[in-house]
Structure 1
């Protein structure tokens, strides 16, 4: 399973941008707009392979429970 590394605002923006690009493809039939699949997929999965490679994360940090 992929580690979640895409947080709330980042996730929302990816989904919106992905849907907008796919809508543009539907209207124009320009194949370049199919790139919208990438941000849509990473937003829906809450995981970005590129973030994993470079060690980034926009997810809020979980606090360790102190005993």
Structure 2
């Protein structure tokens, strides 16, 4: 299902997203905030898949096509 999505998240962006997702999810679990957990899961998904719908909306791309 996700293999047909165009990649628009570069490797550095992906690593930052994965780290931020971990922080958000951990903070959500520690504080009991479901909103932080949901945000963390969204950031985790976009980092894992390599596709960000907001980037498509704003025609933004951090993936280096030269590599």
TM range (shorter): 0.7 to 0.9
Q: Give the structure with higher Rg (CA).
A: 1
Structure 1: which 4+ aligned runs deviate by more than 6 Å? none
With normalisation by structure 2, the TM-score equals: 0.84
Residues 1:37 and 2:41 aligned together: yes
Measured on the aligned residues, the alpha-carbon RMSD in Å equals 1.3
TM-score (norm 1): 0.84
In structure 2, stretches of 5+ residues that fail to align are none
Q: How many residues align?
A: 63
- Alignment gaps of 5+ in structure 1: none
